[in-house]
C-alpha cells in the first residue's frame, strides 16, 4: 500500500501523475479505514485485580 503511494508520488513529481486523483484516493482510503475502525464491536472488559472499588 505505502509502496504504491510512494510510486504514485514519484510519478506526480515527474509530472506524470494526477495529484488530485491521488488525494481523492487517499481520502477515500482513510475515510473507509476510520469507518471500519469505528464499526468494530469492542468486548466488555472485566475489572482487573487492581480495580478501584
How many residues does the structure list for the chain? 53
Residue 39: exposure state from Cβ atoms within 10 A (0-12, 13-18, ≥19): exposed
Say whether pTM exceeds 0.85.
Answer: no
Residue 30 lies in a domain: yes
The residue range of the domain holding 29 is: 2-39
CA separation for the pair 53, 50 (Å, rounded): 9
Specify the pLDDT at position 46: 80
Residue 50 lies in a domain: no
Residue 46 lies in a domain: no
pLDDT tens, 33-43?
Answer: 999 999 998 88
pLDDT tens, 7-20?
Answer: 999 999 999 999 99
Amino acid at each position: 500500500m505505502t509502496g504504491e503511494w510512494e510510486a504514485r508520488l514519484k510519478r506526480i513529481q515527474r509530472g506524470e501523475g494526477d495529484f488530485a486523483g491521488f488525494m481523492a484516493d487517499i481520502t477515500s482510503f482513510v475515510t473507509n479505514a476510520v469507518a471500519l475502525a469505528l464499526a468494530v464491536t469492542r468486548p466488555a472488559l472485566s475489572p482487573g485485580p487492581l480495580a478501584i472499588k
